[in-house]
Structure 1
């Protein structure tokens, strides 16, 4: 149970082995906040990643939103998954948890080549760790084909999906009286994306549900996924959502596995939408 108040928050952190003086000790950036208790009380962190089959089809962005307690639990859960994969399949203990690499048994996950059931089991363990941590998942997609059919000079699909997901994250944070730090995976043109989002905080986002993104702390930060289990969680969520919307599974077994994985993630899901202009 999470206890309200700074003292309760500090006790909650200590109960999980988290130093209240150094949030970086749990693979979480401090970003100028002096204590974990302070960060837990005042700020949420939204980890953002994207996935797309190609830029002419559909584009998806996810956000995994956590407070400090949920982030600690998520990190511990992911460490446990990597430890399991190392012991069971010989996967590198430094392996990152990315949806495509796990399911295709590539890069660090090559030792699992041909072990599809094992890959699905690892993926489910990741999704269970997300759900069990108390993290909230936000998913936004854009139908790029329809976007170009409707608009002669449409905005960039990444920018559209990113602002849509941040509108929902901002709304979530506002209802909880929190500010939210946004940490996104590195992407081409990230400085321009950050500048545009900061401009929205002054003029409002386009559309009928315009938002000033008042709860978002600007600028949005872009960082390498290897540094944050939160970014890897966002990758796992958005890969699965993209697969459900873009891939026709080749066998009943594969279709069943995807449905089961989605069911595992559902307790953490706060918002999911594919925007068809």
Structure 2
């Protein structure tokens, strides 16, 4: 039985809140981490960036932090190489989102978007692990209130996740673990995936050339996408599609 190392990260705007899960079989974790190290090493040789630079979606898109001063073409090349490396490995991608404006319109006292989306995401992670007869160990980027999220997971194990698809989580082992993104290439990997998908799904950027470039980047990992859905609380349609 494999343990699926499941890395989580978030990406959001004022209206849209997304979280992504990158489920990595334990025997794939080191090869993928090494491949992403090589992406940064190649960037260091080609563009003079620090060899320990963090692969962060926002920074690569905007030319911030370690990637400041690099022209757009170089930053896109690095993003492309990283997405290609992710897609070349046996990983599974799950993405969940919510319309925060819809939450505020539907509920007088809405739950925080992070809590809503995390419960939906963990439902899908647990269901995928059960289907594969495997276990999942969840590792997320650092947050301000880790104890709250660990408490939520404990509650989901006993009472279920709530909502119309409520599920008791039985395949997620231990607790929620948190790691600083700068120390984990695999946390960085799910950041790249989630940031890009959120931009594509919610139409950030109206330049057709940017949209085409984003789709090209995403094409490397599309085959790894198992499930994605954004909940609009005020919409009538509740069907979430396949998977």
* TM-score, normalised with respect to structure 2: 0.92
Larger Rg: 1
In 2, Cα distance between equivalents of 1:120 and 1:102? 7
Q: Is 2:13 aligned against 1:53?
A: yes
Secondary structure, counterpart of 1:219 in structure 2: coil
Aligned with 1:218: secondary structure? coil
TM-score normalised by L of structure 1: 0.81
1:190 counterpart residue number: 146
Matched, 1:74 2:36: no
The corresponding residue for 1:33 is none
Residue 247 (structure 1) shift: 4.0
Q: Which moved more, 1:236-245 or 1:248-257?
A: 248-257
CA distance in 2 between counterparts of 1:276 and 1:85 reads 39
In the TM superposition, what are the counterparts of 1:72-221 in structure 2 within 5 Å?
72-112=30-70, 115-221=71-177
CA displacement 1:52-107 (0-9 Å, x = unmatched): 123xx111100100112221221121011101110111111010101011111111
Q: CA deviation at 1:248?
A: 3.8
Map 1:6-21 onto structure 2 (within 5 A).
none
Structure 1 residue runs of 4 or more that deviate by more than 4 Å after TM superposition: none
Structure 2, unmatched stretches of 5+, are: 234-243
2:178 is equivalent to residue 222 of structure 1: yes
Q: Which gives a bigger RCO, structure 1 or 2 (Cα 8 Å, sep 6+)?
A: 2
Secondary structure in structure 1 of the residue aligned to 2:54: coil
RMSD: 1.3
**2-structure distance, mates of 1:169, 1:200:** 13
Is the Cα contact below 8 Å between 2:200 and 2:211 reproduced in 1?
no
Gaps in structure 1 of 5+ consecutive residues: 1-40
Q: Which residue of 2 aligns with 1:275?
A: 231
Show the counterpart of 2:239.
none
CA distance, structure 2, for counterparts of residue 83 and residue 94 of structure 1: 8
Number of residue pairs matched?
A: 233
Say whether residues 1:257 and 2:217 are aligned partners.
Answer: no
Contact map agreement 1:182 1:221 (CA 8 A) in 2: yes
Instruction: Identify the structure with the greater helix proportion.
Output: 1
